[in-house]
Amino acid sequence: MVKWLGSLRNFNKPYLCKIEKIIDETPTVRTLIFSDSIMSNSRPGQFAMVWIPGINELPMSIMISTKKNQAAFTVRKHGVNSTALYNMKLGQYIGVRGPYGNNFNIKPGKLLLVGGGTGLVPLIRLLKFIKTSHNITLIIGAKTKNEVIFEDLANSLLQHNQHSIITTTMDGTYGCKGLVTHIVADLLHETTFDAIYTCGPELMMFNVIKMALSKQIFVQASIERIMKCGIGICGSCSMNENIVCKDGTVFDGSYLLENNEFGYMYRNKSGSIENYTSKV
């Protein structure tokens, strides 16, 4: 007889987790920590669909926790839904399904990680998977001083590695002044890397990829699109012939540059094309 496996967890159905700890990272960014061994074991670049009961469901990169069997989401309050998630209180429940998507392909050697805003989340998880032989350069990009996140956490995660952490703010109130991409350009002028991993605003990733490929450096980026199902059924996350939630979210830079939607346009919730350029 076909036995029903109902007693096992159904990864594609929201599973409620209690928020056990909240960290205010910046005035607009919070990390919500919960216990869940499945999420805690997700690979770097993977995401979950997060249900805020009664409100909406959002794709979120899976953040690490320093404790075992825990995972987290780091959310910036933005529209109605992310604000609702941001406002969740200790002891309240969120639903998670996943993990979904592929992951970064971690090369050995000297790695450059380039993250902007909450795009740092998958890169922080990547740090959990590196070996002591890795030499890591991490660029943390933010608009202004009090939006810089994960600096201390990254330092402690990298304590056994040769590493450098470069912080940059657009207004120069902390770290270097200017765009993340300027830092990358400077670095690539001085040195080289075995691989570059990036996640953040699409135009930032677009430029990072162009720079990396001009120096023949392996580069991967994690892409965001509107996601409704997260599992390759609804099509809302499509980018040209790619279904980002299933083919990605991590793509090789060389592949992305051939994709004429990447860096230029995305589809809104109705599936209509919108241009990035007009929004930045």
Ligand X SMILES: Cc1cc2nc3c(=O)[nH]c(=O)nc-3n(C[C@H](O)[C@H](O)[C@H](O)COP(=O)(O)OP(=O)(O)OC[C@H]3O[C@@H](n4cnc5c(N)ncnc54)[C@H](O)[C@@H]3O)c2cc1C
Ligand Y SMILES: Cc1cc2nc3c(=O)[nH]c(=O)nc-3n(C[C@H](O)[C@H](O)[C@H](O)COP(=O)(O)O)c2cc1C
Is residue 13 part of the contact set for other proteins (CB under 8 A)? yes
Per CB under 8 A, contacts with its own copies among 131-170 are none
- Minimum CB distance to its own copies smaller for 100 or for 197: 100
Do residues 42 and 34 lie in contact, with contact meaning Cβ atoms separated by under 8 Å? no
**Interface size with other proteins, residues (CB under 8 A):** 43
- Of 4, 174, 177, 200, which Cα lies nearest the Cα of 208? 200
Do residues 137 and 112 lie in contact, with contact meaning Cβ atoms separated by under 8 Å? yes
Torsions phi, psi for 206 (to 5 deg) = -55, -45
Looking up tokens 């469901």 gives 57
Ramachandran bin of 115, using left for φ above 0, alpha for ψ from -120 to 50, beta for the remaining angles: beta
What is the smallest separation between the CB atom of 234 and its own copies, expressed in angstroms?
17
| Pattern 237-256, ligand X, x by CB under 6 A | ------------x-------
Report what 280 binds from ligand FES, its own copies, ligand Y, none; CB cut-off 5-8 Å by kind: none
- Of 131, 107, 104, 64, which Cα lies nearest the Cα of 223? 104
Is residue 1 part of the contact set for its own copies (CB under 8 A)? yes
Do residues 175 and 164 lie in contact, with contact meaning Cβ atoms separated by under 8 Å? no
| H or E segment to which residue 47 belongs | strand 47-52
Is residue 37 part of the contact set for its own copies (CB under 8 A)? no
Is residue 267 part of the contact set for ligand X (CB under 6 A)? no
Is residue 3 part of the contact set for its own copies (CB under 8 A)? yes
Q: Alpha-carbon distance 280 to 62, whole Å?
A: 26
Report what 49 binds from ligand FES, ligand X, other proteins, none; CB cut-off 5-8 Å by kind: other proteins
Is residue 143 part of the contact set for ligand X (CB under 6 A)? no
Q: Among residues 162, 164, 268, 275, which is the contact residue for ligand X, using CB under 6 A? A: 268
The DSSP bridge partners found for residue 95 are 16, 51
Strand 135-142 relative to strand 110-116, pairing: parallel
What is the smallest separation between the CB atom of 226 and ligand FES, expressed in angstroms?
7
- Minimum CB distance to ligand FES smaller for 53 or for 232: 232
Report what 272 binds from other proteins, ligand Y, ligand X, none; CB cut-off 5-8 Å by kind: other proteins
Largest CA distance in the chain: 66
Q: Among residues 151, 203, 228, 252, which is the contact residue for other proteins, using CB under 8 A? A: 228
What is the smallest separation between the CB atom of 133 and its own copies, expressed in angstroms?
35
- Minimum CB distance to ligand FES smaller for 137 or for 238: 238
Q: How far is CA 193 from the centre of its chain?
A: 21
Looking at this protein, which amino acid is placed at residue 3?
Answer: K
Per CB under 8 A, contacts with other proteins among 48-67 are 49, 51, 53-58
Q: Among residues 240, 275, 277, 279, which is the contact residue for other proteins, using CB under 8 A? A: 240
List b or e across 19-46, with b for residues whose CB sees 16 or more CB atoms inside 10 angstroms. Answer: beeeeebbebbbbbbbbbebbbebbbbb
Per CB under 6 A, contacts with ligand FES among 203-262 are 227-230, 232-237, 243, 245
Using CB under 8 A as the criterion, which residues of the chain lie in contact with its own copies when the complex forms?
1-3, 5-6, 8, 10-12
